[in-house]
Amino acid sequence: MLRIGLIGTGTVGGGVIAIIEQKKAEYREKLGIDLELACICAKTDEEVAPYKAKGYTVSTDADAMIANPDIDVLVELAGGYNMPRKWILAALNAGKHVVTANKALLAKHGHEIFPLAASKGLHVLFEAAVGGGIPIIRSLQEGLVGSTVESLSCIINGTCNYILSRMAQEGLDFDTVLKDAQRLGFAEADPTFDIEGIDSAHKTALLASLCSGHRVDFEKIHVTGISKITAQDIAIAKELGCTIKLLGIYNRDGDRVDARVHPCFVPQNHLLSSVNRVLNAVYLNCDNLGETLQTGAGAGRMPTASAVVADLVSLARSIDTGKRAALPMGWFNVENSATLVPISETSARYYFRITSRDERGVLAKITGILAENSISIETIIQKDVNDPGNVSIVVITEKVQDCRASKAIDAINALPEIVENSQVIRFLA
């Protein structure tokens, strides 16, 4: 029997309870395991009252629940940083396993949590932290060990993918779709965490860590969100046979790690281009396996709860047989931090959308600056804008190092004819 202490009865926590109630008998019959919700904990009496009425042991004191020797595993679904860190470290020090969906906590404090768990031979399982119901963590830890992941590109935030998909499908602007996403519950009242790429950075750092075997510090990776993407960018991408997606990217670069988050032009024949709305996807290129794509619901009550329960089932089978040691994650420590490739050293084809006054000689100045920075031009397109006297000049470059692209665009933006900062988007390599 696996005796579970669960903190958090919100969207995901309620889903976990519902799945265990629904499938408990099936797990006992078909898998020979017994999941027992030994204690359900939340902040207030009101939150736990429905479960108390159903006969569950409930608590509003997480510390007391963790100290209870009858609890085998802590399931942390409260979210946030400080209190979950305290609870998880306390649980590990008390000899209890941990299951969590808290990607932000693991990205920030995993260098404390994973080594402690390893020193005590305890499991820390976090399938639900990345990709919701997509079993990408278990795939990287177990299913793909016969191959080395050379590169990874992922659509890992449902809010951003929903916004970009609707902008592309309906020709809407960013603010309109964001407000609708908030109304429908696909975006938070304060969407900054999602639309500025922070959530994607947490998840990308964890995936890059698992791919490389080194701790990737999410605070050091390059992050650009989608708040500056316009309907015009989306329309031009379509003309070029592409879609715009916010991607988390990992590339193996010798002894270094290239990890970053930013919007990309994705060709319509690429597997990621057709992943729309709130779906997530992880595209991998492995040495022995080749290309593979995992896709599914990346967030939401039941997909995320399903991943949490899958971790609990895996843990119960490990404990019951007594034969399966915890997966080694002690390497996720500060001393084993990855050496990151600076964004300035990465290379890509670039899309520049430059808005200038419609005056003679501007195009010559722009192409001159690009030539000075040894940037070859693949395509130049002039577009009218809904602003008399101004024009958009779209430049598609050949592959160029970021430092040269940045230097050129800074010089272009400094021209007196330029009326706003230019848009810069990379193409997926």
The rounded percent of the chain whose pLDDT value lies above 70 is 99
At 377-412, the pLDDT tens digits run 999 999 888 888 999 999 999 999 999 999 999 999
Is a pLDDT exceeding 90 seen at residue 64?
yes
- CA-based torsion, 233, 235, 237, 242: positive or negative: positive
Other beta carbons within 10 angstroms of residue 301's beta carbon come to: 16
Cα 43 to Cα 61: distance, rounded to the nearest angstrom: 8
Contact 311, 321 (CB under 8 A): no
Give Cα separations from 56 to 25, 97, 118, 305, 323 (angstroms).
Answer: 17, 21, 32, 19, 31
The C-alpha atoms of residue 332 and residue 339 are separated, in whole angstroms, by 14
Indicate the burial class of 415 (C-beta count within 10 angstroms; 0-12, 13-18, 19 or more): middle
Separation of alpha carbons 74 and 296, rounded Å: 26
Residue scoring higher pLDDT (325 or 259): 259
For residue 326, what pLDDT is reported?
A: 80
Q: What is the identity of the amino acid at 359?
A: E
Categorize the per-residue pLDDT at 328 as very low, low, confident or very high, splitting at 50, 70 and 90: confident
Question: What's the rounded mean pLDDT across residues 369-374?
Answer: 98
Task: Write out the catalytic residue numbers.
Answer: 203
> 278-302: per-residue pLDDT in tens?
999 999 999 999 999 999 988 888 9
User: 286 burial class (0-12, 13-18, 19+ CB within 10 angstroms)?
Assistant: middle
Q: How many CB atoms lie within 10 A of CB 252?
A: 18
pLDDT tens by residue, 138-173 = 999 999 999 999 999 999 999 999 999 999 999 999
* Beta carbons of 381 and 391 less than 8 angstroms apart: no
CA 132 to chain centre: 10
- Report the C-alpha gap between 406 and 427 in whole angstroms: 15
Strand partners, 394: 353, 381
Tell me what pLDDT residue 318 has.
87
pLDDT of 369 > 90? The answer is: yes
Q: Quick one: average pLDDT of 56-82?
A: 96
Residue 33 has pLDDT above 80, yes or no: yes
Which residues, other chains included, contact 3 with Cβ-Cβ below 8 Å and sequence gap of 6+? 36, 38, 70, 71, 72, 73
- 378 Cβ contact list (under 8 Å, min separation 6): 349, 396, 397, 398
Q: What is the largest CA-CA distance in the chain?
A: 79
pTM: 0.96
pLDDT of residue 323: 60
Asked if pLDDT for residue 320 goes beyond 80, the answer is no
Q: Is the pLDDT of residue 322 over 70?
A: no
**Distance spanning both ends of the chain, measured CA to CA:** 49
Is 216 in contact with 114 (CB distance < 8 Å)? no
Which phi-psi region, left, alpha or beta, contains residue 79 (left: φ > 0; alpha: ψ -120 to 50)? left
